[in-house]
Amino acid sequence: MSKKVIVIGGGAAGLMAAGTAAARGLDVLLLEKKERVGRKLVISGKGRCNITNNTDVEGLIENTPGNGCFLYSTFYGFSNLDLMAFFEAQGVPLKVERGDRVFPESDNAKDVVDALRGFVTRSGGRILEESTVKLLLTAGKNEKRVVGVELEGGKQYMADAVIVATGGASYPGTGSTGDGYRFARELGHTVHALQPSLVPLISHTSWVPELQGLSLRNVAVVFRKGKKKLYSDFGEMLFTHYGVSGPLVLSASRHLLDEHYAGITMSIDLKPALDEKKLDDRVLRDFAQNPNKQFCNALDALLPQKLIPIMVQLSEIAPDKQVNAVTKEERRRLGQLLKNLSFTIDGARPLVEAIVTAGGVDTDEINPTTMESKLVAGLYFAGEVIDVDAYTGGFNLTIAFSTGHTAGMNV
C-alpha cells in the first residue's frame, strides 16, 4: 500500500507539496480550511501573481533577508528556473517584466491556481476543502512521531507523514490565521515572534494624507534614524491616506522590523538623475520660459499636479510671486526640497495587512534538505510558516514553491 501523506493548507507551498508527493505515487490528501484552494495566490501581485524572479540562486538568497542561507539546498534542488519550466509544462506561459519579475502571460493569477490544482489531482492527490485541522496526532514518548490529524468536529485522518503548509498570519481572510504556528508549538517547536513584513508604513506628517493616491516613479528614498541611514532604494512608491506604500516602501518595511519608529524619517529625492547644479539649471530654464508666471503656476513641468501645492507650501516662497523675482536663496530651498522631501515614519500597518509574516518556526529545528522536523518524525514544514521571508519581486512565492517541492520530494 502507498504511504499516506496529509498536507495541511492549499496555498502555494501546500499545492506544490501535494502534487509533488502524489506524482511520486504516495497517497496524498490535501486539507484546505477555506471553500477553495489558492485564496491568497489569487490576490497576489494585484491579481496577476508574481510567481518568481528571473535571477540566479545567489540573487534569490540576497533578496531573502530572513534566514536566506537556510534555503540553499532547496533553491539548488528546485530553483526559480525549475519553477518557470514547471509552470510552462502545466500550460501557463510566462513573461518577464521590470525587475526580472515573472508573471503568467495572461496576467491572471487564477491560471496559476488552476494549474496547481490540476497538478495535484492529475498526479492522484485528493483535495478536501472546508476542512479545518484542529490538532496533529502523535505517537511515541521518547521519539515522537506524527500519525495523523483531527479536524474540527472530531473526524480523524491517519497518515504516515504530515506536511504543514498553513501560511503565515497575514491576510487571515484567505485562511492563513496562524494555525501552523500553534501546531508547531504544541509539538515542542520554537516559533519566533511574528511581525509584519512587506507592509505599508504610517506617517503622521500633516501634509502626507493630502497626497493620497499619488504614485511616484523613478525616485530615490532614504530612511534614517537621526543621522544613521537605515535603508535606501530606487523605484516606485505611493502616498496613501495613512502614509506610504508601494514597492520601495514595502521592501523598506522589512529593514525597519527591529527599529522603534520614534525618530525615523523618510526622504524622497524627486529628481535623482540631476545633481543640485543641474537641477537649478533646469528650474531656471523652466522659469525663463514664462518669467511673469506666478510661482504656484510655474512647476507643472517639474512636478505632478497633486504635489505642487505641498511643495509651494514647504518652500515658503510666496505662491503669487513672479518667477523672475524668485531669489537664488529661494531656488536653493526649492532645490533642497526636490532632492530631500522629508517626513516622519511613525509606524507600520498591522500584521493582518502585511504581504508576508516575518518570524515563524525556527529553521534550526528543520532539516534544510528535506523540510522534515528535527524534533518530530514524519512532520514536515513548507512555506511561510517557516521563519524565512524575502523582499517583493516574486521571492516569497519562490520560497513557498521551492520548500513545498522539497517537502513533497522527501516526505
Concatenated DSSP letters for 4-64? EEEEE--SHHHHHHHHHHHHTT-EEEEE-SSSSS-HHHHHGGGGT---EESS-HHHHHHT-
What's the grid cell of residue 261? 519608529
Query: 353 or 121, which is more confident?
Result: 121
Domains of the chain, first to last? 4-195+357-410 (3.50.50.60), 200-349 (1.10.8.50)
Contact 379, 234 (CB under 8 A): no
Give CA–CA dist 360/180, Å, rounded.
9
**Could you give the angle at the alpha carbon of 285 between the alpha carbons of 284 and 289, nearest 5°?**
115
- Burial of residue 157 (CB within 10 Å: 0-12, 13-18, 19+) is middle
Give CA–CA dist 361/187, Å, rounded.
11
Helix, strand, or coil (residue 267): strand
Mean residue pLDDT across the chain:
95
Average pLDDT over residues 225-240: 94
Give CA–CA dist 404/203, Å, rounded.
37
4 backbone dihedrals φ, ψ, rounded to 5°:
-95, 130
DSSP state letters, 118-139: HHHHHTT-EEE-S--EEEEEEE
Average pLDDT over residues 285-296: 92
Q: Beta-carbon neighbour count of residue 74 at 10 Å?
A: 26
Q: What is the pTM of this model?
A: 0.90
Nearest one of 263, 269, 249 to 348, comparing CA atoms: 249
Q: Which pLDDT does position 74 carry in this prediction?
A: 98
pLDDT tens readout for residues 368-391: 999 999 999 999 999 999 999 999
Give CA–CA dist 397/112, Å, rounded.
12
pLDDT band per the 50, 70, 90 thresholds, residue 317: very high
Q: Which pLDDT does position 290 carry in this prediction?
A: 87
Instruction: Rounding to the nearest 10 degrees, give the CA dihedral for residues 120, 121, 123, 124.
Output: 120
Contact 284, 324 (CB under 8 A): no
Q: Which pLDDT does position 352 carry in this prediction?
A: 87
pLDDT band per the 50, 70, 90 thresholds, residue 46: confident
pLDDT tens readout for residues 96-113: 998 999 999 999 999 999
pLDDT band per the 50, 70, 90 thresholds, residue 406: very high
What's the grid cell of residue 288? 525663463
What's the grid cell of residue 113? 491556481
Helix, strand, or coil (residue 96): strand
Radius of gyration of the chain (CA): 25
What's the grid cell of residue 325? 523675482
Give CA–CA dist 257/244, Å, rounded.
16
Q: In 378-400, which positions are buried (b, 16+ CB within 10 angstroms) versus exposed (e)?
A: bbbbbbbbbbbbbbbbbbbbbbb
pLDDT tens readout for residues 320-348: 999 999 999 999 999 999 999 999 999 99
Asked whether residue 309 carries a pLDDT value surpassing 90, the answer given is yes
What's the grid cell of residue 290? 514664462
Q: Beta-carbon neighbour count of residue 193 at 10 Å?
A: 9
Q: Which pLDDT does position 1 carry in this prediction?
A: 67
Give CA–CA dist 285/267, Å, rounded.
26
Helix, strand, or coil (residue 149): strand
Cβ partners under 8 Å of residue 285, min gap 6: none
Q: Which pLDDT does position 249 carry in this prediction?
A: 95
Q: Are strands 4-8 and 27-31 parallel, antiparallel or unpaired?
A: parallel
Q: Which pLDDT does position 264 carry in this prediction?
A: 95
Average pLDDT over residues 75-89: 98
Helix pair angle (12-23, 395-410), 10° resolution:
30
Alpha helices in 242-359 (DSSP H): 247-255, 276-289, 308-315, 328-339
pLDDT band per the 50, 70, 90 thresholds, residue 140: confident
Give CA–CA dist 345/343, Å, rounded.
7
